[in-house]
Amino acid sequence: MIAALEAFRMTHSRRDFLRTSTALAASVIAGSAASSFARTPRLLAPSSGPASADFETLALPDSSMKMEDLRKMAFELPALTYGYDALEPYIDTQTMHLHHDKHHQAYTDNANAAVEKAPELKGKSAEELLSNLAAVPEAVRGAIRNNVGGYLNHAIFWTIMAPNAGGPPTGHIADAIAKTFGDFAQFQAKINDAGLKQFGSGWTCLALGSSGLQVLSTANQDSPISQGLHPILLNDVWEHAYYLKYQNRRADYLKAWWNVVNWAEVNKRYEAALKK
Ligand code: MN
- Mean pLDDT in the chain? 83
Query: Which alpha helices (DSSP H) does 228-262 contain, by range?
Result: 243-246, 250-257
Residue 97 near residue 244 (C-beta atoms within 8 A): no
Phi/psi for 252 (5° steps) reads -65, -40
pLDDT in tens, 20-32: 344 343 333 333 3
User: What strands lie across the sheet with 230-236, from one edge to the other?
Assistant: 212-219, 202-209, 230-236
CA 20 to centroid of ligand 1, rounded, Å:
31
Model's pTM, two decimal places?
0.77
In a domain, 237, yes or no: yes
Residue 122 Cα to ligand 1 middle (Å) = 25
CA of 221 to the centre of ligand 1 (A): 9
Give percent helix, percent strand, percent coil of the chain, each to the nearest 5. Answer: 55, 10, 35
Question: How large a percentage of the chain has pLDDT more than 90?
Answer: 73
Query: What digits encode the pLDDT tens for the residues 225-255?
Result: 999 999 999 999 999 999 999 999 999 999 9
Ligand 1 geometric centre to CA of 203 (Å): 9
Q: How many domains does the chain divide into?
A: 1
Q: Please report whether residue 104 resides in a domain.
A: yes
Q: What's the CA-to-centroid distance between 157 and ligand 1, angstroms?
A: 9
Q: Which residue in 27, 70, 73 sits closest to 48, CA to CA? A: 27
Cα of 5 vs centre of ligand 1, distance in Å, is 30
Angle at Cα 203 formed by Cα 95 and Cα 234, nearest 5°? 85
- Per the document, the length of the chain is 276
104: CA distance to ligand 1 center in Å? Answer: 7
> Cβ(151)–Cβ(129) under 8 Å?
no
Q: How far is the CA of 168 from the centre of ligand 1 (A)?
A: 24
pLDDT tens digit string along 99-110?
999 999 999 999
> Distance from the CA of 98 to the center of ligand 1, in angstroms?
9
Question: Would the pLDDT of 112 be above 70?
Answer: yes
Whether the CB-CB separation of 145 and 132 falls below 8 Å is answered with no
Domain membership of residue 274 as a residue range:
88-276
The CATH code of the domain that includes 99 is: 3.55.40.20
In a domain, 54, yes or no: no
